[in-house]
Amino acid sequence: MTKFDAIVLGGGPGGYECAIRLSQNGLKTALVEEAELGGTCLNRGCIPTKSLLHAAELYHTAKGSSDFGVDIGDVSFNYEKIIERKDAVAKQLSNGVGFLQKNHGVTVFNARGTLLETQKIELSTGETLECTHTILATGSLPANIPIPGIDLPGVVDSTALLDMKTCPEHIVIVGGGVIGVEFATFFNRLDVKVTIIEMLDRILEPMDQDVSKIITAELTNRGIDIHVGVKVDAIEPGLKVNYSSVDGSVSGYVEGDTVLIAGGRVPNTQNIGLEKVGVHMNKKGFVEVDGLCRTNVPGVFAIGDMNGEMLLAHVASGQGLAVADFIAGKPAKQLNLNHIPSCVYCSPEIAMVGLTEEKAKVTGRDVGTGMFNLSGNGRAMTMGENSGFFKLVYDKATEEILGCHMVGPYATELIAEIVAVMECEGTITELGKAVHPHPTVSEAIMEAAHACHGNSVNAPKPRK
């Protein structure tokens, strides 16, 4: 029986980064992964979808290049090559993770691991490993919504859709969350007919209402059919998707050649021995943890999607690094989830951190907002991407930044500035006094801070 100081079960972003940090901290570490290193994010989620979206955006930009004085004639796309490049990018990154594990002295086992005891893990190869610390990082899986007809050919989840080699002509997307909106953007950019069916009263419901409103308008203007406040009753052969409102007052159907079930994700906690060692899980199957990802079982930690705190790769990574330092006896601080950014890679891009305006107001604070429309941003105008806004939510009494919501080019990159300011407890005034380079989209952050005080010089006077 091989013994380690720590064993990480699951090689996604949280798991593989935790394993490396453990090794850097001087612990003999093993990483157990049954599939490709990099997990869902790298192989079946974040990275593959961004590769697809980038290809679709290039195609869309090329088609509109004549608006900028660049004539390139007829433009077409090769869907099979788009998929091939997506696979090549994922494989290269996965191989890179393997190199990093070896380079940092982590022992990798390509096998499925199951907890036999708190400190013993049995591999599908028959080998048994022993350790002092166990870090669970098995991630999540696409949710299987109980809809009649969900098993019909052509009805797929996000993983199966990524493996399709042919481009659909009309895709019906069940779910208007992040996954649904990103795939809707991808296919719409490739001139595919897209229909979104969402049970809630708006798409991207967790986002600020102003964000949801403008993205709904943008997607609708681009020809995407959006049905909100309705649920799918059944999918019939021929991929006829029947839907109706919750109260039954509205009903209809739509037919496509592909149906994507984008109804969220569930924890990957089944059949890995959690019940055997007594790890507590909630009713939804997520592992219950404290602020430092400790389970109720001493020596067993659970990081990333499987603990349900926030199903984001960077949260898993942050938790993994914190746990690795805690195990090594180094200072470790739990993540402040109010300072975790979320991004949607649609067009225009969306990024947010902290509270929405609606949630901030229910805290009882005296809440203010400042918004700057990108129609007044020179860089956005030069790119022809000036649809969107940057919005700050703050406490009027203390000037603490409570949240930020961005819609526009580079939003997913620029949100990191607000995260840093919030983490350092910067104020609206301090953010506004930081001189931003011109011409850049980042100036909209400074202008939104000025708008909080009603003195943005690049926006019309606020209405009284």
Residues annotated as catalytic are 438
51 phi and psi angles, rounded to 5 deg: -65, -45
Tell me how crowded residue 235 is: count the other CB atoms within 10 A of its CB.
24
Beta-strand relationship, 300-302 and 128-136? parallel
**Cα distance between the two ends of the chain:** 74
Name the region of 13 (left: φ>0; alpha: ψ -120 to 50; beta: rest): alpha
Per the CB < 8 A criterion, the answer to whether 207 and 358 are in contact is: no
Q: Which residue, among 21, 52, 288, has the nearest Cα to 165 in the 3D structure?
A: 52
Residue-wise burial string across 361-374, b where 16 or more C-beta atoms lie within 10 A, e elsewhere: eeeebebbbbbbbb
Counting every residue written for the chain, the total comes to 464
Q: Which residue, among 397, 393, 406, has the nearest Cα to 359 in the 3D structure?
A: 393
For the record, the structure tokens of 241 come out as 């998707």
Q: How far apart are CA 54 and CA 51, in angstroms?
A: 5
Q: How far apart are CA 290 and CA 281, in angstroms?
A: 12
Q: What is the DSSP letter of 178?
A: H
Q: Can you list the pairs that 89-95 forms with residues at least 24 positions away whose Cβ atoms lie under 8 Å? A: 89/47, 89/48, 89/51, 90/36, 90/38, 90/42, 90/43, 90/47, 90/48, 90/51, 93/38, 93/42, 93/47, 94/36, 94/37, 94/38, 94/42, 94/43
Alpha helices in 253-299 (DSSP H): 274-277
- Going through 282-349 in order, the beta strands assigned E by DSSP cover 300-302, 342-344
Per the CB < 8 A criterion, the answer to whether 271 and 280 are in contact is: no
Q: How far apart are CA 25 and CA 28, in angstroms?
A: 9
Q: How far apart are CA 388 and CA 405, in angstroms?
A: 10
